[in-house]
Amino acid sequence: MIYGLLQVWELIKDEHIHYYLIFFLWVWVVWLIKFGFAKRYRVKYTQDYQTSVSVIIPTYNEDPDLFKDALQSTVDNNPDEIIIVFDSPNENLEEIARSFPKVKTIIIPKNGKRTAFATGLVNATGEIIILKDSDTILPKDCIRELIKPFIDPKVGGVTPRIHIFNPDDNWIRRITEWIHDQRDHFAASAQGSISTVACLPGPTCAFRRKIILGSLNQFLNEKFMGTTCETGDDRSLTNITLKQGYQTVFQKTAIVYTDSQNRFLNFWRQQIRWARSSQKYTLMSLSWMFKKPKFFAFYLLSDLIAPFFYVAVLIVSLLNLIFRLDTFTLVQGTILGTLWFALISGFIGINFSFGVRQLSHLRRKKADIFWLPIYLLVVNFILIPVRILGFFTMTNQQWMTR
Amino acid sequence: MNNKSKIGIKNKIKLFGIRLFGVMLLIFFILAGVLIGSLKENKTLFDVIAENKNKLALFIEKIEKLAPNETMTVETVKAAETEEPITDQEKQISGQTKNQKPSRGLIKTKTVMQPIINLEAKGIYLGAVLDNIPGKIENLFAFEEKIGKQVAIVHWFQDWSEKDKDFKIKIVESLWQHGTIVLISWEPWETTRNYARPQPQFEMAKIAQGDFDPYIREWAKAIKSFGGPVLIRFAHEMDGNWYPWAIGMNNTTEEEYINAWKHIHDVFKEEKVSNVQWVWSPNWNDEWPVSRYDKIYPGDEYVDWIGMSIFNWGTTVTYQKWDTLDKRLGWRYKLALKYNKPIILAELSCDETGGSKSRWILDGFASLKKNYPLVKAIVWFNYPQARYSSQVLWAVDSSPEALEAFRQAIRDPYFLGPQFEEVPIN
């Protein structure tokens, strides 16, 4: 932060702008715009909507206890229909499923999540389809809240708030919960404020059946640069909905609880999978994203470019360090000019700048202030670089965590 | 998951396009950053690479040194230097073929790198006046070690007296091997502590009428046979009242001074010496009773560099005071602007008493870079204790803080060490 001030000082004194300062300003301007939109978000739909609802749960290798609890919570929500599609037979889980009288089970040979979902879809009868992961728990009245927006015929898809259950069990769960909390209160809120949410995430999302049914072939045989799309089914469904002119909305009053990775390796794999499909689908939506509100394209494209800018700033800083370019003439020869001071004060400064942007989260979860440096490191050294890696390997289709 | 299906050439191209876009995006942001960084340093990435080319050359030499090779490299000179006295080293050099110019070498190539003064280069050449140079070259290596950078120029004062009047070609050559170019303040007197004592045997009129021609011609020939660039600062501070060659001393008139200068220049020209650069270095008296600087300017075709002596005397000497570099240099620089020649601060230093020497250095050097584009070389006057002015601490390491400040200031690549030029081997 001291360096930030120094940079401003040099800007005024020497009329020289540091690259990092440009990056810093860019981050803040983009953030402020997005934040402004997120602040404008209001829950629009509060009236109950009476309709028929089918819940489809594609299932593959789940922990039996969690599977049972999650299923029980769904049954308690009392939808019209629950269809479990087993992607390859699993006797243990099938038995649990059969113990719930209302639940339909379909077993298919192992063919991927998309096929499992499609199989459920063609067998479903409800006007609204809820796609739910087998590890996601729905609290009471969750479905009732979730389908409220469909009272508006323009709405094609809805996403709830997504939380991690037992977030304090280990640091990965804690960080994952933080990431989800940010997604809810920032990304989903900002995009929700213009009723154009770019991704209705897989743990739980609701669609109008007719929209997906009309594009089922596209959904199943989607290709990107000649490779069949396997992962990113949630982004795909969202794209189909948006492309047909429907709105996708964020219903903050509906909350679901889902499981998280517990091991770092799996966390990493999940992140790279998300990075791949997120950027891939952003590119695929290039042809129509500008027909949506401008903020939508701004959001997606700034997210696409940001990691490149960030990594470039890191590289430039390193180059400057090696070649002694772009130094601070004002502090040369004082303790302020030493590398250690730069690194430490820089880290504190970044924490501060970052912390301000995380204030709303920290207010919701005060204990996380101690985790801020960890979260910062995860974001800066995993979440952002992984997007670059994802960009160059975006045709890779492995689930890796399934 | 059947993803290995045929992608098709068209898609491969598209995919390549996307990846290329990603790479370009990254490169774009990096270049933008480097460019913005360069704006501050007033130099581009290419300059930085070019600068580091010398380091690379040195590095290659170091590696080649490991392999047995007859040709001498900088490191071998250095090694010989540090272990043995100068005379041995001179023997080593004189062992080389006479007509072959000493060349520092990227061996096994058809060209060699030679140190030059390139006025096109962005930056200020760094130099030093050192204790007992040209006596002990080790002092130069020790100094360079101390300041963390190789200097481009080493400056010494040499008088015309019988004691030590020859052009020290062996030393100049071995310095050149090291990458260093010499600046010699060529003083027509016999050095004495009693400055103002007239020395009639060295009258400017006598020089102008050819009394010293054999001696001057000897120098011209020696410099020509050396072949590398040499800077000569003849009869400096001639508008002061302390040297016998100054206007008004030894009965010297302004006209005689200019004639002497021109005469020496002409003798060198007759000997077809093209590797000498003339430094005209007055004290820049604006309203001095002795003479005004502009009345003793020999003329554009006789002068290559404009020289200055910039000292912050501090308060050690009672009649002096602490001044910033800007204060000392600013008005002189303005006066010198009209000649539109490269400027060399042939003597530059600061005392310890009366202010912060480290601040003086840092601020001064930053200002040199920012405000004085015509200044192309600076020479730190690094006598440990002033030879001629008792208690003033001129040396760069007069205190650890001063040394650290100096190291830091010159770490800026704008302050140039030796620059090299590739020339073919004959």
Q: Could you give phi then psi for residue A54, rounded to 5 degrees?
A: -115, 130
Nearest to B235 by CA among B196, B269, B278: B278
Strands A204-208 and B343-350: unpaired
d(CA B258, CA B254): 6
- Mean pLDDT for the stretch of residues A224-251: 90
Instruction: Select from B344, B346, B357 the least CA-distant residue to B393.
Output: B357
**pLDDT tens digits, A55-87:** 999 998 889 999 999 999 999 999 999 999 998
Residue B257 or A328, more confident: B257
Q: What is the mean pLDDT of residues A169-181?
A: 93
Q: What is the mean pLDDT of residues A115-129?
A: 91
Cβ <8 Å between B8 and A226:
yes
B123 to chain A: which residues are within 8 Å by CB? none
Buried b (16+ CB within 10 A) or exposed e, B72-110: bbbebbbebbeeeebeebbebbeebeeeebbbbbbbeee
The residue count of chain A comes to 402
Please tell me which residue of chain A has the smallest CA distance to B364.
A329
Q: How far off is chain A from B51, nearest CA to CA, in Å?
A: 10
The yes-or-no verdict on residue B16 having pLDDT over 70 is: yes
Q: Which of A158, A161, A196, A160 is nearest to A298 (CA)?
A: A196
Question: Are B36 and A22 an interchain contact pair (Cβ–Cβ within 8 Å)?
Answer: yes
- The CA-atom distances, in angstroms, between A295 and each of A45, A60, A292, A299, A357 are 22, 37, 8, 6, 20
- How many Cα atoms within 13 Å fall on the side-chain side of residue B5? 13
Q: Are B54 and B419 in contact (CB under 8 A)?
A: yes
Q: Are strands A155-164 and A204-208 parallel, antiparallel or unpaired?
A: antiparallel
Structure tokens at B155: 């400056």
Q: In what order do the strands lie in the sheet with A103-108?
A: A103-108, A81-87, A53-59, A128-132, A204-208, A155-164, A247-258, A136-137
State the Cα–Cα distance between residues B12 and A258, nearest whole angstrom: 38
Q: Rounded distance, CA A185 to CA B408, Å?
A: 48
The CB density around residue A384, as the number of other CB atoms within 10 Å, is 18
Question: Considering only CB atoms, which chain A residues are within 8 Å of B403?
Answer: none
Query: What is the number of residues in chain B?
Result: 426
Q: How far is B17 from chain A (nearest CA, A)?
A: 11
Q: Nearest residue on chain A to B357, judged by CA atoms?
A: A333
Q: Are A167 and A181 in contact (CB under 8 A)?
A: no
Could you report the per-residue pLDDT of B181-212, keeping only the tens digit for each? 999 999 998 887 767 678 888 899 999 999 99
Nearest to B157 by CA among B183, B136, B192: B183
What pLDDT score was predicted for residue B99? 40
Q: Is B96 on the interface with A (CB under 8 A)?
A: no
Between chains, do B26 and A397 touch, taking CB under 8 Å as contact? no
Interface contact B371, partner A, CB < 8 A? no
Question: CA–CA separation, B118 vs B50, rounded Å?
Answer: 13
User: Does B11 contact chain A (CB < 8 Å)?
Assistant: yes
In single-letter form, the type of residue at position B3 comes to N
Q: Is the pLDDT of residue B7 over 60?
A: yes
Arithmetic mean of pLDDT, A307-321: 84
Among A329, A386, A394, the residue to mutate for chain B (most B Cβ within 10 A)? A329
Does the beta-carbon distance from A315 to B14 stay under 8 Å? no
> In chain A, whose CA is at the least distance from the CA of B24?
A308
User: Touching check for B399 and chain A: CB below 8 Å?
Assistant: no
B409: which chain A residues are within 8 Å (Cβ-Cβ)? 332-333
Whether residues A308 and B7 touch (CB distance < 8 A) is answered with no
Asked if A18 lies within 8 A of B36 by C-beta distance, the reply is yes
Q: Are residues A325 and B34, on separate chains, in Cβ contact within 8 Å?
A: yes
Tell me which chain B residues have a C-beta less than 8 angstroms from the C-beta of A225: 7, 11-12, 14-15, 18
Can you give the pLDDT at residue B241?
80
User: Would you place residue B42 in the very low, low, confident or very high pLDDT band (cuts 50, 70, 90)?
Assistant: low
Q: What is the pLDDT of residues B291-303, one digit of tens each?
A: 778 889 999 999 9
Contacts of A181 (CB under 8 A, 6+ apart): A163, A361, A364, A365
Enumerate the β-bridge partners of residue B158. Answer: B186
Provide the shortest C-alpha distance from residue B407 to chain A (in Å): 9
User: How close B385 gets to chain A, by Cα (Å)?
Assistant: 24
Please state, rounded to an integer, the average pLDDT across all residues of chain B. 81
Locus of tokens 């011609």:
B217
Question: Are A227 and B7 within 8 A, CB to CB?
Answer: yes
* Interface residue B13 vs chain A (CB under 8 A): no
pLDDT above 60 for B100: no
Q: Residue B40: pLDDT above 80? A: no
A-contacting residues in B 192-251 (Cβ below 8 Å):
none
A226: chain B residues, CB-CB within 8 Å: 5-8, 10-12, 15
Residue A109 contacts B, CB cutoff 8 Å: no
Which residue type, as a one-letter code, is found at position B158? Q
CB distance B412–A324 less than 8 Å?
A: yes
Cβ <8 Å between A333 and B362: yes
Q: Mind telling me how many Å the CA of B7 is from chain A's nearest CA? A: 5
Other CB atoms within 10 Å distance of the CB of residue A311 = 18
Host H or E run for residue B139? helix B138-147
Contacts of A329 in chain B (CB under 8 A): 366
- pLDDT attached to residue B3: 45
Hey, which residues 67-106 in chain A have their CB within 8 Å of chain B?
Answer: none
Most confident option among A296-300, B195-199, B311-315:
A296-300
A317-370 confidence digits (pLDDT tens) = 777 776 665 555 555 555 555 667 777 777 788 888 888 888 889 988 888 889
Comparing A10-19, B127-136, B393-402, the range with the smallest average pLDDT is: A10-19
A–B: how many Cβ contacts below 8 A? 110
Q: How far is CA B200 from CA A347, B190, B203, B238, in A?
A: 70, 11, 5, 16
Return the biggest CA–CA distance within chain B: 103
Q: Could you tell me how far CA A329 lies from the centroid of its own chain? A: 43
The answer to whether ipTM exceeds 0.95 is: no
Pick the closest to residue A25 from A4, A51, A3 (CA basis): A4
- Maximum average pLDDT range among A12-26, A158-172, A348-362: A158-172
Q: Which of B192, B131, B199, B137 is nearest to B163 (CA)?
A: B192
- B-chain CB neighbours of A315 within 8 Å are 30, 33
- Above pLDDT 70, what percent of chain A? 90
A281, A332, A397: which to substitute to probe chain B, counting the most B Cβ within 10 Å?
A: A332
- Look at B409 and A228 and tell me if their CB atoms are within 8 Å: no
Amino acid (1-letter code) at residue B42: N
Q: Where are the alpha helices (DSSP H) in B211-323?
A: 213-226, 254-270
- Whether pLDDT at B260 is above 90: yes
Cα–Cα distance measured from residue A206 to residue A250, given in angstroms and rounded to the nearest whole number: 11
Alpha carbon distances (Å) from A372 to A175, A367, B391: 10, 9, 57
Query: Closest partner residue to B366 among A230, A283, A329, by Cβ?
Result: A329
The rounded distance, in Å, linking the Cα atoms of B158 and B188 is: 9
Please indicate if any CB of chain B lies within 8 Å of the CB of A387. Answer: no
Return the bridge partners of B183, or none: B155, B231
Once rounded to an integer, what is the mean pLDDT over residues B293-318? 89
Phi, psi of A23 (to 5 degrees): -60, -45
Q: Which helix (H) or strand (E) holds B186?
A: strand B181-187
User: At CB < 8 A and 24+ separation, what contacts does A44-50 make?
Assistant: A44/A149, A44/A152, A44/A249, A45/A148, A45/A149, A45/A151, A45/A152, A45/A155, A45/A249, A45/A251, A46/A148, A46/A253, A47/A148, A47/A151, A48/A144, A48/A148, A49/A147, A49/A148, A49/A149, A49/A150, A49/A151
Paired with A204 in beta bridges are A132
Of the candidates B7, B29, B412, the beta carbon closest to that of A309 is on B29
Give the nearest chain B residue to A22 (CA atoms): B33
B10 φ/ψ sector (left φ>0, alpha ψ -120 to 50, else beta): alpha
Q: In Å, how far is A308's CA from the nearest CA of chain B?
A: 5
Residues of A in contact with B19 (CB under 8 A): 391-392
Of B3, B28, B40, the CB nearest to A397: B3
Query: A388 vs B11: CB contact, 8 Å cut-off?
Result: no
CA angle B258, B261, B262 (to 5 degrees): 85
Do the chains contact at B40 and A311, CB–CB below 8 Å?
no
State how far the Cα of A375 lies from the Cα of A172, in Å rounded to an integer: 10
Q: Confirm or reject contact between A388 and chain B (CB < 8 A).
A: yes
- In whole angstroms, give the CA distance from residue B136 to residue B155: 13
**Alpha carbon distance A208, A52 (integer Å):** 11
Test B29 with A227 for CB contact under 8 angstroms.
no
For A397, phi then psi, to 5°, come to -115, 10
Residues 184-203, chain A: which have Cβ within 8 Å of B?
none
Query: How do strand B415-416 and strand B230-234 relate by DSSP bridges?
Result: unpaired
Query: Is A115's Cβ below 8 Å from some Cβ in B?
Result: no
